[in-house]
Amino acid sequence: MRMSRPVIERLMEKVEFADNGCWVFTGGLAANGYGMISAGSRTGRRRTPRTHRVTYEHFVGPVPDGLDLDHLCRNRACCNPAHLEPVDRKTNVARGVKKTLQTECKNGHPLSGDNLIATPKQRKCRTCRRAANRRYERKKGQAA
């Protein structure tokens, strides 16, 4: 059986040290921006842990049960354990990068108050929706 090098050794070869203190992982990133590295397990199965978790556990210790590692630097590719803090999920989400809501539709109408049609998945402009309904009704009337 071939013995591979320790995961931490392979990981650190793919780290660039930024001026702001971030240890930026330059290897494979998941779609959400977190660094991932392939690692073996005792059962022989491969797994791909997140790089920030690997460095935290190597240099600091295990992450307490029920806690997530929060990137204090807000850089998901960073794996510097000094930039990571174990926090509960609610705190981690609350600290996360917030998406800003659109305040206007593509036609410049306000997306607020009586002009806002809010559903769980989207926000629509009532003025534009009415105009689209009128166009549809006119078209439907011409086809009959």
Tens digit of pLDDT for each residue in 25-74?
999 999 889 999 988 766 667 788 999 999 999 999 999 999 999 999 99
What is the Cα–Cα distance from 85 to 88, expressed in whole angstroms?
10
What residues does each domain of the chain span? 7-95, 99-144
Question: Top-level CATH class of 7-95?
Answer: alpha beta
Q: What is the pLDDT of residue 63?
A: 96
CA dihedral defined by 65, 66, 72, 74, rounded to 10 degrees?
120
Residue 50: what residue type? R
Residue range 103-116, pLDDT digits in tens:
888 899 999 999 99
What is the pTM (predicted TM-score) of this model? 0.64
Are 70 and 80 in contact by the 8 Å Cβ rule? The answer is no
